[in-house]
Amino acid sequence: MLNRIGIIVKPNKPDAITLAGELVGWLSQRNIQVYLDETIAPMINHPFSCPRSEISRWIDLLIVLGGDGTLLSAVRAMAGENVPILGVNLGGLGFLTEITLEELYPVLGQILAGKMETEKRMKLSANVLRRGERVGEYSVLNDVVINKSVLARIINLRNSINGAYVTTYRGDGVIISTPTGSTAYSLAAGGPIVFPSMDSILITPICPHTLTNRPLLISDQDTVEITLESEEGDVRLTLDGQIGCDLHPFDQVVVTKAKDYVFFIKSPFKDYFQVLRTKFKWGER
């Protein structure tokens, strides 16, 4: 039984804030206690609010109103929790926020009637080692990206898997992604689409100097080790396209499957391939 629902909203999107106010009223009429991100609650005079980092402690389900960026930020705040997430797309492409505005209330009606189906998505854990000491630890849903700045030269990235040397990428960088992230930056760099419920890790080089360097799909039980062998600076580690840090020469980025998962509520009106056809306009001339 769902008694408490949280709402996270893209703060600079007025229509999302308006929708949040309407949604609070709709849920309150059905005796659902609603908790809002503390930055949004004052905008609609809602008394129950808490920091994003704490909202998971109070709720049984989370609704995210915005786009994929808003959802990725929400997932980061929910790290380690098994609260199911309903992503509502109010923006552009939106692979993660697959529920449309028109579907929102029908889907919520089914959820409150006990007809909720979730899909488990794996995450990645990335650790940055500098001279053997861990200087950064991150958790991501989409991808871990190592790339050079616009003005930097080609960089050398040594790739090992489970301690065995694979190859050294010479190019603009490399993307290590989950199946969920296979439709993000990795796809633009030439990587394949991987069904999101699979447990696997995808390694995609960015503009490799050697054309034989191709994307590689490996087991989720493997450990990926990327060592920056270039001595010049201007190389950055980016997590889910939102946060990151600068890398120093010979830093090592170690990527493994994270211990926790994300649980997305599936749309009862369409499947993943319908989403792909809609987003990519497959079959259209």
pLDDT in tens, 11-59: 788 888 899 999 999 999 999 999 998 888 888 888 888 888 888 888 9
- Answer yes or no: 234 catalytic: no
CATH of 123-259, one of 1.25.40.420, 2.60.120.260, 2.60.200.30, 3.40.50.620: 2.60.200.30
Look over the chain and give the mean of its residue pLDDT values, rounded to a whole number: 90
pLDDT, mean of residues 64-69: 90
In angstroms, how far is the first alpha carbon of the chain from the final one?
A: 46
- By percentage, how much of the chain surpasses pLDDT 90? 62
Torsion angle of the four alpha carbons 176, 180, 186, 192, in this order, in degrees rounded to the nearest 10 = 110
Q: Residue 135: what pLDDT?
A: 94
Q: Which residue type, as a one-letter code, is found at position 52?
A: R
Which pLDDT score is estimated for 92?
66
Determine the pLDDT at residue 93.
65
DSSP one-letter string for the chain? ---EEEEEE-TT-HHHHHHHHHHHHHHHTTT-EEEEETTTGGGGT-S-EE-GGGGGGT-SEEEEEE-HHHHHHHHHHTTT----EEEEE-SSS-SS--B-GGGHHHHHHHHHTT---EEEEEEEEEEEEETTEEEEEEEESSEEEEEE-TT---EEEEEEETTEEEEEEEESEEEEE-SGGGGTHHHHTTPPP--TTS-EEEEEEES-SSTT---EEEETT--EEEEE---SS-EEEEETTTEEEEE-TT-EEEEEEEEEEEEEEPPSS--HHHHHHHHHTTT--
The predicted pLDDT at position 278 comes to 79
Tell me the HSE value of 195 on the side-chain side, using a 13 A CA sphere: 7
pLDDT of residue 122: 96
Task: For domain 4-117+266-280, give the CATH superfamily.
Answer: Probable inorganic polyphosphate/atp-NAD kinase; domain 1 (3.40.50.10330)
Domain ranges of the chain: 4-117+266-280, 123-259
Q: What is the mean pLDDT of residues 201-225?
A: 94
Write down the catalytic residue from 68, 143, 240, 251: 68
What is this structure's pTM? 0.92
pLDDT digits over 251-263, tens only?
999 999 999 999 9
